[in-house]
Chain A
Amino acid sequence: MAPATSSNPTGSARDRGHADPRVLMALRSLELRARVVVEGFWNGLHRSPYHGFSVEFTEYRHYTPGDDTRYLDWRLYARSDRYYLKKFEDETNLRCHLLVDQSRSMDYGSLTYSKAEYVRTLAATLAWFLHAQGDAVGLVTFDERVRDYLPPRHRKGHLRRLMVALERRAEGRTTNVGEPLRRIAELARKRGLIVLASDLLTPLDELERNLGRLTVAGHEVVLMQVLDPNELAFDFHQASLYQDMESRQDVYLDPEKARADYQRRLAEHGRGAEAICQRLGAEFHRVVTDRPLELALADFLRGRSRRNKLIRRRAPARASP
């Protein structure tokens, strides 16, 4: 399980050679943004600890008559004189669904861009990265219901369609994470990677049940909570009416007095989501929108790497010849 990512000032990100998100968001084309991030990410890799992760070994099992002999591990047979079938996830078998929250709360941003803009760029970056590795990438955009659904494909033009779907503005208001998770559980028959990017500013009542449905089905689930820096710091100083961007309800408060309580409750909420992910074996990342996207991508891949190592360690113990 990957730890939650904390906020990182953009100034330091620029010093390390990462693209400043403010500069990046100034680019109009979503595809161009993703390309800049991924290429910058690759250029920054001196040694590729993640190379080859997509052609992934899963497990051994004993041969039983009737199995396809093409998958026999002849080397192991030579050493042990026993028949084992070597099971791999072939390259085209990784099917990734990107679930992107486009509710109205995502329009908030204390920087020069909103959370929605950041999430779109992040999703585009992941899609570009996975597509470049030959994986099939699908997209689900949602607010209180599913707006767009693109099934995972790896074909020419699919990435372009995905970018167009990401750039389309949603008209919804509230956030309902359960609905897209239920739809994905119905639609994704084959096991795959499901990345949910949302601010998760919604009650967590049904989150565990819906996520559990996916993990039970064998899906790998990554939950990315995207927050604005000001949502963490609540850096307001003037008493005023604070209006919920989704429900339009007002609350009159003095931010100086309300800040501590707000931060405590937000942290509790985050810990609750993280605990759910831990229980279900899902990854949880908290991404702050001032964090360079290369780092967010690295965090994502680092979490994947940790997960694969864990699987490898468990597999020989479970199927030791």
Chain B
Amino acid sequence: MNFLAPWFLLGALAVAGPVVFHLIRRSVRERTAFSSILFLRPVPPRATRRRKLEHILLLLLRCLALVLLAMGFARPFFPKSGASSPPPGPGRQTVILIDTSASMRRAGLWPKALAVAGQYLDKATPGDRAAVLTFDQQVRSVVSFAEWLSWPPDQRAALAKQKLAAVSPRWSGTVLGQALTEAAELFPEDKSGDSSARVVALISDLQEGANLDGLQGHEWPKNVGVQVERIDPAKPGNAGLEIVDASGAASGDERQARVRVTNARDSNRESFALAWDTGDASPAPIYLPPGQTRTFSAPPLPDGVTTGALRLRGDEEDFDNTTWFAVPETERVAVAYFGSESANDPQQLRYYLERAFPETGRRKVEVVSVLSNSILDVGTLNRASLAVVPARLTAEESAALRPWVAGGKTELRVMTNTLMEATDAPLEVSEAAGDYALLGNVDFTHPIFAPFADPRFSDFSRIHFWKHRILKFPANSPVRALAKFDDGSPALAQIPGGKGNILLLASGWNPADSQLALSTKFVPLMQTILDWSGGAAPARAQFQIGEPLPAPASPGDPVHWTKPDGKSVDQAAGAPFTGTDLPGIYSAMAGSRTNRFAVNLPLDESRTAPMSPDDLGRLGVPLQSAPRIPAAATAGTQRILARAELENRQKVWRWLIAGLLGVALVEIWLGGWLARRVANLEVSS
């Protein structure tokens, strides 16, 4: 048996205390009444030594308790052959969890990580089982337990390293908490309770920007330990930047990007500069002390440029020194109006239609009359994505509008009178009787009404329709009633027409027909109709790695996505693009329109100052106390660390303390029994 702290054995010398106390006569200060102390002089008894020890068993128990206590503090352990090497023993299961986040792209980190993983793989015995996982924002399996076992035992390490060699750091952030929990759950069920036999070897730079949320409240398996192998860079410090989303900027100048810059806690640099990669703009110097994050105004983007890369100069770690910027595009939308009335007449539809589309930062809507002296302006019509038809069309106009709708556009036909024809399909239109009608049923599952689905906005029942037309469709016509009046007749109906749609509104929004234009529902309803018809631009232009990019609204057209590395992907319309694994400018081309998105690293990935493994311990991660021996450690240090690990694994001191408690209990019982016996003898005598 060896001892980790042998100097505590000197405490065993305290056994001399009980021996001496047992030799000294006990002096009891009892009180005895006597008639007079007139003739008594105080002669205190002298502590006399006994020639013979009494209560030998009690003395032995007390000495044994002291010896056990001293041995417990000395932290004994039993040396084992090969104990100085950290490798797992027979039957040991190891999950090697390697960080592939963008911060591992720093100089020299990835080769170190592969080397450490290789050590674990090399030291696995034929009876061991190993699995290799990589993680960043997602956890990916490189080698599973089953795959490991399927390989010949003498080739397992080589094959695993071969597969690992094909892995390289990605451009993602670090979600460490989720990765640890998934790795721990990878072990098969085991009730042995030996945490040293099931180890998650975490190989990571342990940057403080890692996301540990997955560990909050997670109940860690009891028989799984985590061995942290922190990979430190050759040089500390890092700075990074990200473009703050500029949509809706208060300045109104959407080309003036704001950039958030962070400087790592362990950095030794404070002065940096910001510059666009076009080279035309002069660098803007910035000052940022270590450990701080501040927001700066980027230099103005050169005119005529809608996308660019903003670089941070002055930082040696280059993986996060570039952020891409896409100027939010203002969508110019034209709404074709098939009417010739004045836009200033509040009794007419157009008056309210123009006011339903105020200009915003993301969209500028123009209501354009396509009838000029009863001549149809086809060019203007083709530019529009929504056509509002308030009156009966001529045959020529209908002929021009039909292919336009079939090409993917939307026609909103307002049935202001019974003479209007809707489509080529047979439709009976009649004037409704009665004072007024209310909306009785609205289909909130349709994209037009979906934004109103919330109960706070879903009340359409207060809008009075003084006049409306009853639309009757044949039984088999492909008409979908999006809203119905309280008499059951459709208020808004959708009729597919080729790739586009025709919306029939059974009443007008002019004051003579209804209160629709005066209600709070009118403007949002017109906006949703315009969005649905394909007139909206994406709300954001700045995204982070891993975030899905929203598809441009283009009913019918497939979207052609182009990644920063030039690869292209065709997706169906409306499906978001999820392959954002590279930072850069992504473009989405739908029909004739192209939208660009900037995808960047999350700024937390730039916070590369290492966290303490104790931070994981505070979240309940069962860390194995002895870290893997660094290569630079001396032989003496290695031996000490190995002994400490062995002692920590055996924990013999627990048995000694348990024995001490047992001895103490026996001593208490025996002492009490002896005291009671002496008292009984005194009473009987």
CB contact between B44 and one of A228, A231, A239 (< 8 Å): that residue? A239
Known: A239-B27, A242-B37, A244-B37. A252 touches B32 (CB 8 A): no
CB contact between B43 and one of A108, A203, A243, A254 (< 8 Å): that residue? A254
Complex alpha-carbon distance, A115 and B34, angstroms:
12
0/1 interface trace, chain B 406-448, chain A, CB 8 Å (1 if under): 0000000000000000000000000000000000000000000
0/1 interface trace, chain B 1-37, chain A, CB 8 Å (1 if under): 0000000000000000000000000011111111111
B interface residue numbers (CB < 8 A to A): 27-46
Q: B40 near A240 (CB under 8 angstroms)? A: no
Does any Cβ of B come within 8 Å of A241's Cβ?
yes
Q: A105 near B35 (CB under 8 angstroms)? A: yes
Q: B31 near A250 (CB under 8 angstroms)? A: yes
CB contact between A243 and one of B28, B34, B44 (< 8 Å): that residue? B34
0/1 interface trace, chain A 193-225, chain B, CB 8 Å (1 if under): 000000101110000000000000000000000
Does any Cβ of B come within 8 Å of A236's Cβ?
yes
CB contact between A241 and one of B31, B38, B39, B41 (< 8 Å): that residue? B31
Task: Give A286 Cβ to nearest chain B Cβ, in Å.
Answer: 15
0/1 interface trace, chain A 240-273, chain B, CB 8 Å (1 if under): 1111111101111110011001100110010000
Complex alpha-carbon distance, A104 and B222, angstroms:
76
Residue of chain A at shortest CB distance from B31: A241
CB contact between A240 and one of B32, B38, B41, B42 (< 8 Å): that residue? B32
Task: Give B681 Cβ to nearest chain A Cβ, in Å.
Answer: 13
Count residues of chain A with CB under 8 A from any CB of chain B: 35
Does any Cβ of B come within 8 Å of A238's Cβ?
yes
Please list 6 pairs of residues, one from A and one from B, whose beta carbons are closer than 8 Å in the complex, sorted by A's number: A202-B38, A240-B29, A242-B34, A250-B31, A251-B37, A258-B40
Q: A238 near B34 (CB under 8 angstroms)? A: no
Question: Could you list 7 further interchain pairs (A-B, Cβ under 8 angstroms) beyond the known A108-B33, A201-B35?
Answer: A202-B38, A241-B29, A241-B30, A242-B34, A253-B44, A253-B45, A254-B44
CB contact between A257 and one of B30, B31, B43 (< 8 Å): that residue? B43
Q: B36 near A105 (CB under 8 angstroms)? A: yes
Most buried by B among A228, A231, A254: A254
Residue of chain A at shortest CB distance from B682: A238
Give the residues in chain A near B46, CB-CB below 8 Å.
Answer: 254
Give the residues in chain B near A269, CB-CB below 8 Å.
Answer: 38-39
Number of A-B contacts (CB under 8 A): 91
Complex alpha-carbon distance, A249 and B45, angstroms:
18
Complex alpha-carbon distance, A231 and B28, angstroms:
22
Q: A254 near B31 (CB under 8 angstroms)? A: no
Complex alpha-carbon distance, A84 and B30, angstroms:
71
Most buried by A among B31, B35, B43, B46: B35
Complex alpha-carbon distance, A120 and B264, angstroms:
103
Give the residues in chain A near B34, CB-CB below 8 Å.
Answer: 108, 242-245
Complex alpha-carbon distance, A203 and B34, angstroms:
17
Q: A262 near B36 (CB under 8 angstroms)? A: no
Residue of chain B at shortest CB distance from A231: B35
Interface of A is mostly: mixed
Task: Give B526 Cβ to nearest chain A Cβ, in Å.
Answer: 106
Give the residues in chain A near B44, CB-CB below 8 Å.
Answer: 239, 252-254
Give the residues in chain A near B27, CB-CB below 8 Å.
Answer: 239
Give the residues in chain B near A251, CB-CB below 8 Å.
Answer: 37, 40-42
Give the residues in chain B near A202, CB-CB below 8 Å.
Answer: 38
The 5 closest A-B pairs by CB, nearest first: A108-B35, A254-B45, A239-B45, A201-B36, A265-B39
Q: A262 near B28 (CB under 8 angstroms)? A: no
Give the residues in chain A near B45, CB-CB below 8 Å.
Answer: 239, 253-254, 257
Most buried by B among A240, A247, A269: A240
Q: B39 near A239 (CB under 8 angstroms)? A: no
Task: Give A51 Cβ to nearest chain B Cβ, in Å.
Answer: 39
Complex alpha-carbon distance, A241 and B553, angstroms:
105
Q: A201 near B42 (CB under 8 angstroms)? A: no
Q: B36 near A240 (CB under 8 angstroms)? A: no
Task: Give A257 Cβ to nearest chain B Cβ, in Å.
Answer: 5
Complex alpha-carbon distance, A106 and B44, angstroms:
26
Task: Give B48 Cβ to nearest chain A Cβ, in Å.
Answer: 10
Task: Give A211 Cβ to nearest chain B Cβ, in Å.
Answer: 20
Complex alpha-carbon distance, A247 and B41, angstroms:
15
Complex alpha-carbon distance, A201 and B41, angstroms:
15
Q: B37 near A238 (CB under 8 angstroms)? A: no
CB contact between B30 and one of A228, A238, A245, A254 (< 8 Å): that residue? A238
